Structure formats: C-alpha cells, structure tokens
Amino acid sequence: PLFKQAMVRELITNTVADFKSHYAELKADQSLSRVFVLFMAGTDPDTGDSWCPDCRNSEPHIEAAVKGLGDDVAFLAVDVGDRPGWKSPDCPFRHLDEAKVTGVPTLFEMKSGRELNGDDCQDGAKVAAFFA
C-alpha cells in the first residue's frame, strides 16, 4: 500500500490500578489529541460473550467507530468484571475519581468529559457522532 493505515492506540485493562496507571499516562501524553474510555461488562465464561446485553449490542457500533480513529487518538477499554462484582455497591469502578460510571456500557471522552451510556451506545449514529 502507498499509505500506511493510521491506527488508534488501543489498551485493555480489568483492574482499577491498571486503569489509573493507563489513565495518567494517556492524560500526560501530549501526542494524543483525544482519549476515549469504554467501561464495559466482563465476559461470561460459559458463553464467551459479555454478560451484559447492552454491551453486546453496542460492541459492533463502537468497534466500527474506533477503527476510523487515527494514531493521535487512544482508546482504553475497561472490563468492570463479572455481573455480581459490578452489581455490588462496593465495586471499585463505581467509585473512580476519573469518571462517574453508573452503568455499562459507558463511553467517556477524557478532555471534554462527555459521556454516552446504555441505550445510546447501541445507536450507531449516536456512537459515530460521539467519536466524530
């Protein structure tokens, strides 16, 4: 190919410590124009799919939008764990200083603080507009 495909920087984490570390690094990285964070449900070991139907339904829309992002953008996917862990009021992902996460899926843009949640993440047009 004549032109190198620009690739978004994608990271995945499933612990609060890793999230905080990645978040701080991405926030400090001056080469990034935008940073997006997706809080999503974990994988059901019995099915291999997310235990959250909203997350399953939003996945193709989010994946399509992320593929179109350039190399000056980062995308951090955060697996909040299994259903019982997430549903607990003590779930550490519900008590972050960096983002107010009350449900999954939640998309968050670091610089603007904009969010897209739940049903809106299942709307391809809304997801595309969020990343535009």
Paired residues of 116 in beta bridges: 107
The question of whether 55 is a catalytic residue gets the answer: yes
d(CA 25, CA 30): 10
Q: Among the options 38, 55, 69, 76, which is catalytic?
A: 55
Please say whether the beta carbons of 32 and 26 come within 8 A: yes
When computed from its CA atoms, the radius of gyration of the chain, rounded to whole angstroms, is: 15
CB within 8 Å of 15: residues ≥ 6 apart: none
Q: Among the options 52, 62, 104, 121, which is catalytic?
A: 52
Please say whether the beta carbons of 80 and 92 come within 8 A: no
**Token digits of residue 35:** 């940073």
Strand pairing category for 9-13 and 34-40: unpaired
Give the active site residues: 52, 55
